[in-house]
Amino acid sequence: MTIVACRSWGALLGYEGLFARAAVAAALTGLFFPVSQSSAQVLVFINRGDPLASCLKEGWTPRPKDIEANSGRAEKGIRAYLGLASAGADVSKWFVGSKKEQHWALDGITAPTNVARDPWAARIARLERTAIITGGNRTQFRAVWKAFSGEGVELGTYDAWLQAGDGGARLLGLDLYSPTSAAKPKPLTPFCITPGDIENWREQQAQRQAAKAPKSNKH
């Protein structure tokens, strides 16, 4: 069992080592990155009164100005990735963290970012963002785009988790979905650190409460 102590919001959200902390949160949620059932349990202890605990308990409503600011960053981030991908270059340089930590997947099948090959990047004529949501720390956000060819044919969907920086954004994770794929992007819902963390937190709390509830006597 791995135990990670997070003593402050600032320590958790500092840019240095960001992806390692984000990976901890991803392991906690098990929603954005696949986490096997055999994975070591990860426990995150948060001081009472910490803004993260408050965010998880009370939920989070993104501010319009944060969504507006991150919309421009998201566009720069995805287009920088597509520039590399369309040239057949190594896209790992546009991801945060080491290559072992980076997440790229096509229809639910992961591939190392340094050898990942985007099937549509070179054919995209139009990129249409369909949704964006900003996280509780306001510097991480998730955005979804549909990509179309010059003939107007839908090529696929890009579901990106990004980190603001350098006037734009770099990728924390990227999922690609073909139009006919059984795998689909998860709904865009408010999150604190990692997509899905609020829902997972509430589910865990409900499970804990259920476990504490007295069991009815069987006659």
Give one word for 24, left, alpha or beta, with left for phi > 0 and alpha for psi -120 to 50. alpha
Task: Give domain limits for the chain.
Answer: 1-219
Check whether 78 has a pLDDT greater than 50. Answer: yes
Q: Judge if pTM exceeds 0.85.
A: no
Q: Percent of the chain at pLDDT above 70?
A: 74
Chain position carrying tokens 């369309």: 86
Least confident of 11-15, 92-96, 139-143, 157-161: 11-15
Q: Per-residue DSSP letters for 130-154?
A: EEEEE-TTSSEEEEEEEEE-TTS-E
Tell me the average pLDDT of the chain: 78
Distances (CA, A) of 114 to 93, 110, 111, 175: 8, 12, 8, 15
Say if CB 141 and CB 17 are below 8 A apart. Answer: no
pLDDT grade for 62, boundaries at 50, 70 and 90: confident
Out of 31-35, 73-77, 199-203, give the one with best mean pLDDT: 73-77
The whole-number average pLDDT for the span 158-172 is 92
In this predicted model, which residue has the larger pLDDT, 10 or 111?
111
